[in-house]
Amino acid sequence: MYIPKPFEIKDEQKVFNIIEANSFATLFSLHMGSPSATHLPLILDRKNNVLVGHFARANSQWKDIDTQDVLAVFHGPHTYVSPAWYETELAVPTWNYVAAHVYGKAELINNQQELIESLQELVNKYEDENSLYRLNVLDSKYVEGLSKGVVGFKIHIQKVEGKAKLSQNKSEDIQKKVIQHLEQSVSEDSRQIAKLMRGQ
């Protein structure tokens, strides 16, 4: 990822925070010699330094991903920034955004129990805490049948990159103007970027 110095996130834990807050990723690998991508949720296991996920078994990207070097891209909030907000003609449109890239080696999960546990963790992450839906309370044969429709995998993390392009290369006055416009937007992403700009 191209990361000019002002936009680089050097703290790995902050990059991990982006991943956990924006865990629906795009996973890139080579499949039959060509680039392939799948959009899917990935769970970060900080203790073991891995990302964990699963493909639908019908998605053939999994068939040659084992031991491959892969890239997972996580998109945080993003928004258009108009040069009109700067109150100067000597500027161009741009885009403010937050993103994280994870590079690592893929490994298929062949242990059925480990796969089921990873699916349970995924459900637990996204289900509301008051929800009654949990895989571990469903019929075990039903869960086992569900698990046969997916292929689990881990990505052993080798490198992470984080980028927060939040107008850091602009004057404080221009940053304030950008924040004011973004805070008035109906877009949740725009308001999130404004919040991040205030917290730099």
The larger pLDDT score, comparing residue 148 to residue 97, is at: 97
Instruction: Say what the pLDDT of residue 190 is.
Output: 97
Whether the per-residue pLDDT at 200 is higher than 70: the answer is no
Sorted by where each starts, the structural domains of the chain and their CATH numbers stand as: 5-170 (2.30.110.10)
Average pLDDT, the chain: 93
Q: Is the pTM of this model over 0.85?
A: yes
- Which strands form 34-41's sheet, in the order they lie side by side? 34-41, 24-31, 69-81, 94-108, 150-165, 50-56, 43-45
Give the pLDDT confidence of 43-56 residue by residue, as tens digits: 999 999 999 999 99
Tokens of 194: 């404004």
Give the pLDDT confidence of 65-81 residue by residue, as tens digits: 999 999 999 999 999 99
Average pLDDT over residues 151-155: 97
The larger pLDDT score, comparing residue 45 to residue 125, is at: 45
User: How far, in Å, are 9, 76, 115 from residue 170 at the CA level?
Assistant: 17, 21, 47
Looking at the DSSP bridge assignments, the partners of residue 26 are 39, 73
